[in-house]
Amino acid sequence: MRMKTKDRILQAALRQFNELGTDQATVRSIAEEVGISHGNLCYHYKNTDELIEALYLQLVAEVSPFAESAFHPDIGLREVWEQSWLTFQLMYRYRFLLLDFARIIRRIGSMRQNFRQLMSLRRQQFRHGLQQLGRHGWMEPEAAPGQHEHLITQFLIVGNHWITESAIQFEQEGEEVVRYYHRTAMALLLPYLSEPGKQVYRELSDAAPAIKQPGL
């Protein structure tokens, strides 16, 4: 089936933003790749900020089913591991957003408002997921009040900034980098797991492809 023009525009914009950055990719360069006129593209998206916001909302929509899995009553460590891996892969597909995110949301007010609301929702989803893991015996009770809230903050910091960190620290790109940071995020859970939880964690870690810290 032939792709709709708007879908072709977004596909080209995603590729150019990832490869060139949001400063270098332009409406004209994207229109040229799609094979349409500048005016035709602007009929759908007036400028690159509208393209950026459309791709951001597209990413949010693709990630949401994985985040919502935290509300499944039978969620376990294996499901958390798999869902987070799929989420990291998706985020890498839209990596330009995280590389330039601070500048983008300072410029695009509607995205800033949406993102704040989204982070509030993500906190609720993480909180529920941790509660479910505790009910099923995968996690120990909090050692001190508020520890799980700190853990959620750590998850959000790693999740929102790992791509920037990888671009600064490492020359590699692709799946090896994604696996390294996914494993880093999952390691945040380890100190909070029960003995059965730690056993499952070790099984999942051993079964995953071997990784090494990407070289500088």
Give the whole-number percent of the chain exceeding pLDDT 70: 96
**CA distance linking residue 206 with residue 177, whole number of Å:** 18
Domains of the chain by range and CATH? Answer: 1-46 (1.10.10.60), 53-207 (1.10.357)
**CA distance linking residue 55 with residue 97, whole number of Å:** 9
Give pLDDT, residue 174. Answer: 86
Nearest CA-CA partner of 108 in 97, 119, 99, 118: 97
| Local confidence band at 209 (pLDDT 50, 70, 90 cut-offs) | confident
Q: What is the pLDDT of residues 122-157, one digit of tens each?
A: 999 999 999 999 999 999 999 899 999 999 999 999
| Local confidence band at 208 (pLDDT 50, 70, 90 cut-offs) | confident
Q: Where are the alpha helices (DSSP H) in the chain?
A: 5-20, 27-34, 38-44, 48-68, 77-93, 95-99, 101-107, 109-135, 147-169, 175-187, 195-207
Q: What is the pLDDT of residues 102-114, one digit of tens each?
A: 999 999 999 999 9
Q: What is the pLDDT of residues 57-104, one digit of tens each?
A: 999 999 999 889 888 888 999 999 999 999 999 999 999 999 989 999
